[in-house]
Amino acid sequence: MRFTKMHGIGNDYIYIDCMESEPESPDTLAREISDRHTGVGGDGIVMICPSDKADFRMRIFNADGSEARMCGNASRCIAKYVIDQGLTDRTDLTLETLSGIRRLMARKGSDGKVESVTVDMGRPEVGVVDTEVALPDGSRHRLTAVSMGNPHGVIFTDDLSDAMVLGHGPELERHPMWPDRANIEFARTDAPDRITMRVWERGSGETMACGTGACATLVAAATNGLAGRKAEISLPGGRLTIEWLPESEGGHVMMTGPATEVFTGTYIRN
Ligand SMILES: N[C@H](CCC[C@H](N)C(=O)O)C(=O)O
């Protein structure tokens, strides 16, 4: 099976061109091919499919095989793939996802290939704000819930250590407050327009970056009065610019960042 390995600031997926056909059991495939020793290695798989509602359709499966409803970093990489591969001659595209249709606006570099994409991530849904959550390990955390089509719990803390992120991420991901688990962000606001964060992703563990997570974090920070409505978000894999437009302009969240192709290959599925 042919694949393309791409990443959005280190959030790496195995991309499969499904314009003609789709692999069987994509959940099983995601678990197998994402393994960084016995597979290709990645945070999951992304299927690029035809759509009758938009230019293309995305299906994304986390490394544990769970299907997600939206993925910010993958949206940018899909824009790069379909434009660079000549599947479209436009740079302003629509993408059907389980969370609805998203608009992708791509920009090319001097080599004529896509290097940066702005995604209209839609309207956030803010849930509980600054609520305290107790974990079985006895720790207590204050978090704000934000949906970007997929669920996020954002914790503001100066402690971005492994003990915090790796120690509490798994329990928070599976806390009973989430009907279907959640992505957990740990964020430090350095200035009204600068946030540093790490993310423990539902179904993939810590990733180098999370596009929907960066959006959820900006929305949570602005909601809690910890930042403005536009900020540069620094994640372990790189930076994203996130802007939460005012209600008078629709209240959508706009995410801008790079998309990178690493290699192509053939996966031998046992
Ligand atoms: N783990 C997420 C999907 C991937 C989101 C993330 N990689 C992004 O860039 O938005 C979930 O289960 O909702």
Whether residues 100 and 78 fall in one domain = yes
Q: How far apart are CA 98 and CA 81, in angstroms?
A: 20
Q: For 52-77, write each residue's pLDDT tens digit.
A: 999 999 999 999 999 999 999 999 99
Do 157 and 90 share a structural domain? no
| Dihedral pair phi/psi, residue 193, rounded to 5° | -125, 25
Q: Identify the domain containing residue 74 by its residue range.
A: 2-118+258-266
Distance from first CA to last CA of the chain, Å, rounded?
11
Residues 153 and 231 in one domain: yes
* Annotated catalytic residue 210: yes
Residues 131 and 112 in one domain: no
How is residue 249 annotated by DSSP? Answer: G
Same domain, 137 and 189: yes
List the residue whose alpha carbon is closest to atom 4 of ligand 1: 71
238 is in an annotated binding site: no
Domain count, the chain: 2
Question: Does one domain contain both 130 and 114?
Answer: no
107 and 218 belong to one structural domain = no
Any binding-site annotation on 202?
yes
CATH number of the domain bearing residue 230: 3.10.310.10
Q: How many helices (H) and strands (E) does the chain have?
A: 4, 19
Q: Is 221 helix (H, G, I), strand (E, B) or coil?
A: helix
Q: Is 90 helix (H, G, I), strand (E, B) or coil?
A: coil
Does 71 contact ligand 1 (Cβ within 6 A)? yes
- Both 66 and 145 in one domain: the answer is no
> Cα dist. 164→58, 135, 156, 157, 236 in Å?
32, 12, 12, 9, 15
Q: Are strands 131-134 and 125-126 parallel, antiparallel or unpaired?
A: unpaired
Which residue from 69, 152, 183, 260 has its CB within 8 A of the most atoms of ligand 1, so it is best to mutate? 183
pTM, entire model: 0.98
Closest approach atom of ligand 1 to CA 71: 10
ipTM (interface predicted TM): 0.97
Question: Are 85 and 168 in a shared domain?
Answer: no
Question: Can you say whether the dihedral through the CA atoms of 249, 255, 258, 262 is positive or negative?
Answer: negative
Q: Is 201 in the pocket of ligand 1 (CB under 6 A)?
A: yes
Q: Are residues 102 and 129 in the same domain?
A: no
**pLDDT per residue over 194-239, tens digit each?**
999 999 999 999 999 999 999 999 999 999 999 999 999 999 999 9
In order, the DSSP letters of 10-72 are TEEEEEEE-SS---S-HHHHHHHHH-TTTSS--SEEEEEE--SSSSEEEEEEETTSPEES--H
Query: Which residue minimizes the CA distance to atom 5 of ligand 1?
Result: 71
Active-site choice (18, 71, 77, 215): 71
Contact 211 CB / ligand 1 (< 6 Å): yes
What is the structure's pLDDT at 270?
77
Quote the percentage of the chain above a pLDDT of 70.
Answer: 100
62 is in an annotated binding site: yes
Q: Are 215 and 104 part of one and the same domain?
A: no
Which atom of ligand 1 lies closest to the CA of 181?
12
Do 133 and 73 share a structural domain? Answer: no
